[in-house]
Chains A and B, each alone.
Chain A
């Protein structure tokens, strides 16, 4: 009766994957905008790179959370810790909800990145200020990571 383990592993898979989906969409939005800008002016490539890369961090955070879950379950070693049903559900719930915040914040951060990229296209001297805008969205992804970490600490298997 390892249904708890099933839920926990499902949670880990969900958080890793869905955060990645959100990041992929965010980065793709930014990349498309950057492609458009660079057809007019390939010189701006260097300034675009951080703006394109910023929405990618949420996928990384999701991966980290998934890895924390895996570590908690000792899944990569010989002796897997089997959680009971409730613990499994706890882990599943944490992972599911945090994957929401990571993925949605990544998509919206991508949109802010697009706006920043257009700003850099018109005013390349303001690249520094443009870089600051998406970072404000990042704080919520970070809070999500911190929340997941603390909640996972509380689940005692």
Chain B
């Protein structure tokens, strides 16, 4: 229940066995190689570097093909379970599948697709440029000079156009100007002019900021060319669809590509591991971390296959940066999900998971606090766990929610909330539900609607308990690391201080008889003085020591207050669920009656009335509770997690541990079954 004990392993073997040893180690997956910065230079197994570009290609191909596959992701893409592959299938694919061929084919198709798409783009561009000139009657390649005349196309501002017209006529030039098209901003025109008059024309044109336009030359007119572009576009679209279909066909082999990728990636990992080894002329050596409980299995496996291998097991030396792995009993294990979000504790320190688990379990239930929602959550998690095979991460996640669902059912039953006040409503509606209501009432120890303040008190008490516990765990951590003096100088005064303060507060709130007050006051005073004296001990200089002592005293005081008050969020979340659930019930009942009176026809016919009103009622009930369920679920997860991290872990957690990452067969795309 805690951090796995890790041993150091040193292995010396013959060079000729090196690759097979590495393959066996990867298969066992129980050691983490220590990177040596030894004198022997590292060179990967020949050929492993040449694998890298092809791995990238395969990865690229997989992402392209996945776009073309039919989506099979769960929950709208939020969770993508990896497909499960059995070892036999694995072998078949690796031996028979020609991935190079597929990659080449795919590459060909993609290039072709790119060409076609670019062509299409060009056509669209051309169409965009040509379409204002549809009405030009002369073929495009005749828009140039004849013997005496010139033809030009251009755009002027539409507002400017009348004035422009006037000026042209006033200039008295021999020209023909036709307005071909006009839109909100521009006037498109063609001008036929005499070459010798180009000077005068140009001045007028420039004065009106005339934009000269050149169109690509074609033997057709603009209109004909546009038609042709459209036809070509359609042909291109068909071709593009064809190619996409071919790629879609290829995407059926995406799965095999994924298997190949994982296989090749693992081979590359062996190559990388090889680079870490210290090599001599005939032998090589490696050092690694291994979990204590797996040493025996490794020794056996090695002995079974290799006769000339030497293994040395030793304990880590203080000062080593030992990697950390958490191991806990199956009830606590799902809560490691939460610890891992925060980070890993140092190897010598404590694993907070077993201490945090019961609190989180309770708080989650407290926040959702509705037995009906708890039942839904438990059922959903259980179904997902049963139906889908997931890796350890996924199954830990859903197991966590399974447990928390049970907690929710418990807390909901104890506060009498089953989808809000549903049992009460049902009992009102018909006597048949009365025994259920009585059963539910018998379980209630506190009704949040009737006594919200008491519930607040409970939430704050939970806070006080956890803060005390946090300090206690810090003491445990110090004892484990033989920092006995720290226990006396830090935890003991702090705990006494908290004890004294809490006592004084309880007396003040008239929850305890005032007789005991002196005990609390003296405790608090004594502890305060002790804190002032001890908290500054790592500083230099008397002034600094005192200052830090007082400062720490103050922060202990205000910190305690703010920590405990932070737990009122549990109360708020729990209360709100009850309010929401009850209100949804109310809304569904009332709306089903109101809407009935609005629809005139239905009101007369009794049976229709019943049917429609039940449909409305059930509809609003289901939708409303689903929405409330998900909203509460998110909040009920995040806020207890925040409480654990900020109010609990901060008291004792020393992060900075590195996770234990064994050298093993890793799969990015598939799960091996």
Q: Which residues of A line the B interface, CB within 8 A?
A: 43-47, 49-50, 54, 57, 60, 64, 67-68, 71, 76, 127, 131-132, 135-136, 138-139, 142-143, 145-146, 149-150, 153
Contact = CB atoms under 8 A, between A and B. Distances in A.
A54 B575 CA distance: 20
B618 interface: no
5 contacts: A45-B77, A67-B586, A127-B78, A136-B638, A139-B572
A118 to B, nearest CB: 18
B282 to A, nearest CB: 45
A142 B573 contact: yes
Interface stretch (B126-134, B136-144, B535-543, B627-635): B627-635
Interface stretch (B250-258, B273-281, B576-584): B576-584
Interface string B552-593: 000000000000000001011101100110010011001000
B120 interface: no
The interface residues of chain A, by DSSP majority, are classed as helix
The interface residues of chain B, by DSSP majority, are classed as helix
A138 B636 CA distance: 11
Interface in B274-329: none
Contacts, number: 66
A21 B587 CA distance: 21
Nearest to B573: A142
A1 B569 CA distance: 41
B316 to A, nearest CB: 32
Which size bracket describes the interface of B in this complex? 20 to 34
A66 to B, nearest CB: 10
B411 to A, nearest CB: 17
A150 B579 CA distance: 10
Contacts of A132: 638
Interface of B: 67, 73, 75-78, 452, 569, 571-573, 575-576, 579-580, 583, 586-587, 590, 594, 627, 631, 634-635, 638-639, 642
Contacts of A143: 569, 572
A76 B590 contact: yes
Contact of B76 (A45, A57, A145): A45
Contacts of B452: 150, 153
Given A57-B631, A76-B590, A132-B638, A145 B579 contact: yes
A142 B587 CA distance: 20
A5 B579 CA distance: 23
Contacts of B573: 139, 142
A46 B639 contact: no
Nearest to B638: A135
A149 B638 CA distance: 23
Considering residues A60, A64, A153, which has the most beta carbons from chain B within 10 angstroms of its beta carbon?
Answer: A64
Given A142-B573, A146-B572, A64 B638 contact: no
A57 B633 CA distance: 13
B144 to A, nearest CB: 42
Contacts of B580: 64
A146 B570 CA distance: 11
Nearest to B590: A76
Contacts of A43: 67, 77
Contacts of B67: 43
B76 A64 contact: no
B576 A46 contact: no
